[in-house]
Structure 1
Amino acid sequence: MAAALAFHLPAASADETRSIRAATAAPRKCHEAALNGKPGAAGFEVTAPGAGLVRVRLNPVGGRDADWDLAVFDRSGGRAVAASAGLRSNELADGYVTAGQKLWVQGCRYGGAAETVSVAVSFVPVSTEDGREEPSQLVAVDTPDRAAKGRLGALDLDLTEAATGSTVDVVLHGKADAERLKAAGFTHTVKIPDVGARVREVRAADARYAADNPRSDLPSGRTSYRRLADYDYELKELARRYPTLARTFTLSRRSVEGRDIGGLEITTDPGNVRDGKPIFLNLGLHHAREWPAGEHVMEWAHDLLGGYGRDPRTTRLLGATRSIVVPVVNPDGFAVSREAGSDNGFVPPVHPTDKEKPEPPAGDPLRAANEMKRKNCAPNGGAGPCALNPDGPDRGVDLNRNYGSFWGGSGADLDPLREAYRGPAPFSEPESQAVRELIAGRAVTNLLTNHTYGNQILRPPGVHGNGMPVDEPLLKSLGGKLSAHNGYDSIYGWELYDTTGTTEDWSYWVTGGLGYTFEIGGTEFHPSFVDGVVAEYLGRAPAAGAGKGGNREAYFAMLESTADSAHHATLTGSAPPGHTLQVRKSFQTSTSPVLQPDGTNGAVRTFPETLTSTLAPNGRFSWALNPSTRPVVAGRYGRPATAPAQTAIPFANPPGDPGLNDGHPIEGPHEEFSFTVQGLPEADNDRAEIRIEWGDTRTEWNLYLFDPNGEIVNVAIADGTRVGVITMIHPAPGTYRAVIANRARVAGAPFDDWRGGVTFGGPTPSTPGVTESWTMTCRDRGGAVVAARQVVVSRGQSVELGDACRR
């Protein structure tokens, strides 16, 4: 057999690429044990040429993908050095090794038709630097007012999300940080004098708990923190065990180092992603060191699937809603943090030339520093694998400062080596862009992004000066319902300190979806498993939600909100089977005035957004959407103009009569006009109004607008008036095409021609919201547009469309 041949190939001691083959598939945990050529697995032996990192990539060959997993084992002790269990055959596994160490590289065919994959093995020498030599401390810095919190935020220190009205918790990475704090006039109280020592203490407590408890009361029964391969393996195992309730998927973009980001959709008939159900998106691990954030999301998936058919509430909600879980948004950073804190793998040798000390002592500061990594693995000008980067945990971008709304303002770092570095541009990172595309393309109505720590529920806005959200009564009320279960303080995001570029701020201000951040626990980033996961999720002492249901019941409260039609918008109607409905709107939105290194504010940046939702109806339908009203027009609750608005453009009406058109607007008789929308620095267009008018209300001219990509942007139907108007809010620069079709006229009357043009307006300050219509199109089985209309629907409103595909 091919697998056996692979096993007997000679050992390798240098970088190389091989193909391995398994004739059969066997769904099993590849990183549990070396299988030595058993069915469904194949592998080979390699020898580490020196101390450093072994990096193994597994990829499909010949264009055929399946689901293969990857594991690397220490040949003598059998321990898993590295593993990857993604949802496809795109795997990356890193592990620390010592000189001469013999390794078994194993691929496992979990499922799919591809029998052969490619495996590339490389070794990266460890740096000769000793890494961090000073222990880190966790301190509570005295900040008696908002001005003090603002000054603290400007120091580029490692601020946590734990704060009170008079303090902010900060991690001081050595004497230089402590001296910067003192020089700025701040006082503080030490909460954890040596983070590394605390890491060892927590690991020992976790080992005792796991030894004494073969199974916990969590839905999964877990007794220890998961590693990255555990998350991916459990996602696909849940989909395999519950095929009628769950489906796996990968997000649209891979991480910086090329890892897939996996998710799970949970509902009845999960494969019908165009079913129109309201969506609850539960995200974990934007920040690598916040391990409970992923654990809670994963337990939620187990909870829902295990409760269906057994618990009436779970059964009802799974029928009415769709839950999407993405437990690890930042797989690269989490892999670095978790492996540094893992006693099952190896840690990087700090003194590679010292043959008597192939591994650092358990309390070495480098290990604690890597375990405290927060950001993703963007190189920031560096090179090499993230786990061995000379900058250590300082490398990367803070993904929760990289989302577009308010990006570039206060509460984020400009220095690439600081913990809250915002990145070079909004959505510069593939991980934040992948979440953006998921939310924008699926009409997510409810969002939770999980973090640690602080015992808080944060709601928009993240910046104090942004004013009150238009949905503040609902946001506050729902936050209170969540708080009733987990015991956390439900507050504005800015009540910690100003933060910009956060997930829920972008999601709410741009899509109108209800979004919150959970700061799980009140003590540290990843406390003992029993405290940070078991107690917090189930609502047991010492958690703030003890006796109240914990985050389990808080998640259920959020799912009840998802099912509540008063908390989103709904379209109802009918459409023929085989047709497809889509709603869409495109606009530009803005960042904050971008803070510069000298402390001054630079220009606002604008960037385009497109929101879509697709429905595959089968007769009557109910379609959950976010409302037409976007909560804010510009990035900072209104803003001054940075350039004049564009000069008006008159339409040049072609001479003659195009004739009646009662069919397709493009294929039938029509007239058209193209115009170009300018962008900065030439023009700052807050809105563009495309308007045509004529003389008789009995005449019907319909106006259709196509964007630079040829997609229908909006439609103006006359409907008994003498005007057709389309308004674009923050129109993206580019050349648009207006199509005008004459649908009705008065018999025997003179030809009633149209006239019109485009006018532009600049931004206005303090605009609380703007009502934008969705553009709804109906396409037939062949993909042709058979109907289009504007739809305006408010939160809590249900709009009946009737026959949505009627011309």
Structure 2
Amino acid sequence: MRITRVGPGVVSAVALVAAGLAGVGVATAAPQPSAQDDTVQIVTVHASTQKERSAVDALGLDTTEHADEHGVDVVLHGAADVARLRASGKTWTVKVADLGAVSRENAAKDEAYAASVASSALPSGRTSYRHLADYNAEMQALAAKHPTRVRPLTLENRSVLGKPVHGIEITDGASKVDDGKPVFLIMGAHHAREWPSSEHAMEFAYDLLESGDSRNAGLLAGMRTIVVPVVNVDGFEISRKAAPIGNFGTFDYEMKRKNCFISAKTPAAYQPGPCDANLAGRLRGTDPNRNYPGFWGGPGASTSWSSDTYRGDAPGSEPEVDNIRKLVSGRQVTALITNHTYSNLVLRPPSIASTGFSPDEVKYRALGAQFAEHNGYANIPSFGLYDTSGSTEDWSYWNTGGFGFTFEIGTEGFHPPYETGVVAEYAGLAPAAGAGLGGNREAYYTAAAAAMDPSMHSTIQGVAPANTRLTIRKTYQSMTSPVIQPGGAVGDPIPYTDVLTSSLESRGGAFSWAVNPSTRPVVTGRYGRDPVAPTQPSAPVANPAGIPAVGASEFSNVTIQGLPTYDNGKVVFTFGWEGPNPDPGTDWDFYIYDSAGNQVASAATLANPEVAASLDPVPGGYRVEAVNYGGGADADWTGTMSFEPPTPAIVTGVKETWNLTCENKQGKVLGSRSIVVDRGQSVNVGNPCNRAKVTSSNE
């Protein structure tokens, strides 16, 4: 989850949003706390576009990832935050008036649930949140129980505090790591307090090994699943063991988000003391999910050491982040899910809008939609909320080509009641959005199948003698974002180096090796298409007679045409009325729905005119809803529908290679060559251990 804070004395938040708790207010009518009022609340700040939500994030408040077409949720820590939000001119709706009370209620619910059921609907039957020791013990137990299918894994680096980071690898013949199978990596707890993220990852391990699902045999035979339930072991253990305070303050360690690194920027007064008992409280540390070097240093990450989104002192500086980089760089991870809480989102790259859609956008979006069919989450690009930099899959995808997603689990907060935040979300039970659809369980199974799908990665085929090792390798230098400095100035990007290498042990004879494309997506180009027809002419949007009452709606119908007559890359709806911008006396909001009733665009701000847009609109009938949100009794609206052509793709034509070598058991190189292989392509390299030149052929 993404949030932003500034200053050592300014607290960051938990945002434990309980479904159904809501109150209404705006900037001029919101509660007026006294200077001593430190009640923590969550509000929805009205912001319907990505640009407006980014502006909210730039206020330096506790901006969450829970957002939709109406606005973005922000945690307010008492009078000072309320005053800051009011001074910005934004309006808001109070969603939860007292987060401390919600926290106490959730703890009571967990106790009652664990006492009331002997076993849950989870594959493990678990009824309460695990501790770090539980994860480690259960992974050891699974390895002992399934010795041919589970390989214990200890990542290369110990944590900041010296703890090992454990995981397990699950496949038939698990001990043979260099087997050429595609890899699905599922992770949790980059952010310490997001406990359901680890629970979901661990439960999928039980599903693959002990649920008896008919799909397991094929997945265990054809691919390898790596489960790392707790990436940020230091922070997680502190959060999980902390005595609940419920005030979401500096010393409420249950709400720790970051790791335990002490930045060189930390003032001397805040450096002494252990990670779980120091004058800076839980605010010391680096946000691991802002520290990955891909696009590090850009918008949506903080330069302040005490911020919950502090990006770290350098790109990829944290041992926990380096662990995942080395794991992904040393395996052919063709699909990756990093679990977080909360917001009911399936997020995909890019995380920064200016990066442009990936060259795999069509496949990426379609795969995200398959996940959303099961968990009921919104399937959007990461920048759809607001820009962020330094996130896991914004490094892994652009640099390795493996598809990577973030799941933001649930709507109730960082660690909501176990029954709803874990059991219901995983198994697809009410009140989860995926109730009756399979939940995240089915989404993970879909991801595992996608990791094994040859059309989603690349394949190298050939023959090799027994007792030889094939290795592919690529070393390259990339650049971070232009680095935002404290105070807002922008400096030069920083170069960083990645080394991708993986191996295949030959048993002798034919082999088939699942790999990622040889050309990195960041090099390939960007998604787009050339127009093949003119755009549809602009047209007015009819306004029905009369003006609805405040809070009521009126509807109009429009038709969008398509090929072969028109090729519309974007439709833009513009609505305005007589009055200033913004208009304190009148406020119309507009929502556009397709023929199936799905909302495809909205404009719900204070602006006059209001503008709503949708990319690549599907031809057909659409319905426009005009809501008289704020007193438009004397100023009726007018509207137009205009169109823009598609944006052409950027295709560089550059092809990168895998450098393939073959060695015998003594380490002698028997042959080497360069391999170019694209996504969905299979290339036959013949016998790469033969020094004689072999002509490759594509199949």
Unaligned runs of at least 5 residues, structure 1: 1-131, 341-345, 348-361, 638-764
- Of 258, 264, 276, the residue aligned with 1:375 is 258
Q: Give SS of 1:422's match.
A: coil
Q: Give SS of 1:272's match.
A: coil
Identical positions, percent = 52
The offset of 1:797, in angstroms, is: 0.8
- Of 390, 402, 420, the residue aligned with 1:531 is 420
Of 193-202 and 214-223, more deviation after overlay is shown by 193-202
The alpha-carbon distance between structure 1 residues 769 and 170, as it changes in their structure 2 partners (threshold 3 A), is: farther
The CA distance in 2 between the partners of 1:367 and 1:207, in whole Å, is 26
| Structure 2 residue 459 is matched with structure 1 residue 557 | no
Deviations 1:441-492 (A, max 9, x none): 1121100000111111001101111112110111011111111111111111
The CA distance in 1 between the partners of 2:302 and 2:413, in whole Å, is 22
The 5 A counterparts of 1:491-640 are 491-619=380-508, 620-633=510-523
Q: Give SS of 2:300's match.
A: coil
Contact kept in structure 1, 2:524 and 2:653, CA below 8 Å: no
Contact kept in structure 2, 1:378 and 1:396, CA below 8 Å: yes
Deviations 1:250-302 (A, max 9, x none): 11111111111111100001000000100000010111111110000000011
Contact kept in structure 2, 1:590 and 1:634, CA below 8 Å: no
The CA distance in 2 between the partners of 1:149 and 1:336, in whole Å, is 32
The CA distance in 1 between the partners of 2:135 and 2:190, in whole Å, is 15
Q: Give SS of 1:611's match.
A: strand
The CA distance in 1 between the partners of 2:214 and 2:50, in whole Å, is 47
Equivalenced residues, count: 528
Q: Give SS of 1:614's match.
A: strand
Contact kept in structure 2, 1:470 and 1:768, CA below 8 Å: no
The CA distance in 1 between the partners of 2:142 and 2:76, in whole Å, is 41
Deviations 1:648-693 (A, max 9, x none): xxxxxxxxxxxxxxxxxxxxxxxxxxxxxxxxxxxxxxxxxxxxxx
The 5 A counterparts of 1:281-360 are 281-307=185-211, 310-340=212-242
| Structure 2 residue 293 is matched with structure 1 residue 404 | yes
Query: Could you say which residue in structure 2 is the equivalent of 1:773?
Result: 657
The CA distance in 2 between the partners of 1:179 and 1:297, in whole Å, is 40
Return the letter of the residue paired with 1:534. V
The 5 A counterparts of 1:88-487 are 134-307=38-211, 310-340=212-242, 363=246, 369-380=252-263, 381=266, 382-487=271-376
Q: Return the structure number with greater relative CO, CA threshold 8 A, min gap 6.
A: 2
Deviations 1:590-618 (A, max 9, x none): 11111122222211111111111111111
Deviations 1:741-778 (A, max 9, x none): xxxxxxxxxxxxxxxxxxxxxxxx96667421000001
Q: Give SS of 2:276's match.
A: helix
The CA distance in 2 between the partners of 1:510 and 1:196, in whole Å, is 42
The alpha-carbon distance between structure 1 residues 194 and 777, as it changes in their structure 2 partners (threshold 3 A), is: same
Query: Could you say which residue in structure 2 is the equivalent of 1:111?
Result: none
Return the letter of the residue paired with 1:803. N
The offset of 1:636, in angstroms, is: 11
The CA distance in 1 between the partners of 2:217 and 2:495, in whole Å, is 44
Query: Could you say which residue in structure 1 is the equivalent of 2:615?
Result: none
Contact kept in structure 2, 1:279 and 1:446, CA below 8 Å: yes
The offset of 1:383, in angstroms, is: 2.8
The CA distance in 2 between the partners of 1:789 and 1:179, in whole Å, is 64
The CA distance in 1 between the partners of 2:525 and 2:687, in whole Å, is 38
Contact kept in structure 1, 2:50 and 2:383, CA below 8 Å: no
The offset of 1:195, in angstroms, is: 2.2
The alpha-carbon distance between structure 1 residues 147 and 376, as it changes in their structure 2 partners (threshold 3 A), is: same
The CA distance in 1 between the partners of 2:325 and 2:284, in whole Å, is 23
The offset of 1:569, in angstroms, is: 0.4
The CA distance in 2 between the partners of 1:613 and 1:279, in whole Å, is 12
TM-score normalised by structure 2 residue count = 0.73
Contact kept in structure 2, 1:157 and 1:419, CA below 8 Å: no
The CA distance in 1 between the partners of 2:37 and 2:687, in whole Å, is 70
Query: Could you say which residue in structure 2 is the equivalent of 1:89?
Result: none
Report which of the two has the higher share of strand.
Answer: 1
The CA distance in 2 between the partners of 1:296 and 1:368, in whole Å, is 28
Contact kept in structure 2, 1:632 and 1:769, CA below 8 Å: no
Contact kept in structure 2, 1:133 and 1:365, CA below 8 Å: no
The 5 A counterparts of 1:47-126 are none
Return the letter of the residue paired with 1:240. A
The CA distance in 2 between the partners of 1:146 and 1:484, in whole Å, is 24
Q: Give SS of 1:604's match.
A: coil
Deviations 1:124-165 (A, max 9, x none): xxxxxxxx9934322222223333222222233322221112
The offset of 1:366, in angstroms, is: 5.0
Task: Name the Cα RMSD after superposition.
Answer: 2.0
Query: Could you say which residue in structure 2 is the equivalent of 1:126?
Result: none
The CA distance in 1 between the partners of 2:250 and 2:114, in whole Å, is 22
The CA distance in 1 between the partners of 2:524 and 2:88, in whole Å, is 34
The CA distance in 2 between the partners of 1:784 and 1:393, in whole Å, is 52
Return the letter of the residue paired with 2:479. S
The alpha-carbon distance between structure 1 residues 209 and 281, as it changes in their structure 2 partners (threshold 3 A), is: same
Q: Give SS of 1:161's match.
A: strand
Unaligned runs of at least 5 residues, structure 2: 1-35, 528-648, 692-699
Contact kept in structure 1, 2:251 and 2:281, CA below 8 Å: no
Contact kept in structure 1, 2:428 and 2:434, CA below 8 Å: yes
Of 149-158 and 362-371, more deviation after overlay is shown by 362-371
Contact kept in structure 1, 2:525 and 2:652, CA below 8 Å: no
Query: Could you say which residue in structure 1 is the equivalent of 2:548?
Result: none
- Of 671, 674, 677, the residue aligned with 1:787 is 671
The CA distance in 1 between the partners of 2:82 and 2:94, in whole Å, is 11
The alpha-carbon distance between structure 1 residues 377 and 190, as it changes in their structure 2 partners (threshold 3 A), is: farther
Deviations 1:391-442 (A, max 9, x none): 1121111111111111111111111111111111110111111100100111
Deviations 1:698-725 (A, max 9, x none): xxxxxxxxxxxxxxxxxxxxxxxxxxxx
Deviations 1:228-256 (A, max 9, x none): 11111111111111111101111111111
The CA distance in 1 between the partners of 2:311 and 2:526, in whole Å, is 17
The CA distance in 1 between the partners of 2:318 and 2:172, in whole Å, is 33
Return the letter of the residue paired with 1:183. A
The alpha-carbon distance between structure 1 residues 503 and 770, as it changes in their structure 2 partners (threshold 3 A), is: farther
The alpha-carbon distance between structure 1 residues 135 and 230, as it changes in their structure 2 partners (threshold 3 A), is: farther
The alpha-carbon distance between structure 1 residues 485 and 365, as it changes in their structure 2 partners (threshold 3 A), is: closer
Return the letter of the residue paired with 1:318. L
Query: Could you say which residue in structure 1 is the equivalent of 2:378?
Result: 489
The CA distance in 1 between the partners of 2:403 and 2:168, in whole Å, is 20
The alpha-carbon distance between structure 1 residues 243 and 796, as it changes in their structure 2 partners (threshold 3 A), is: same
The alpha-carbon distance between structure 1 residues 377 and 158, as it changes in their structure 2 partners (threshold 3 A), is: farther
The CA distance in 1 between the partners of 2:380 and 2:467, in whole Å, is 46
Q: Give SS of 1:419's match.
A: coil
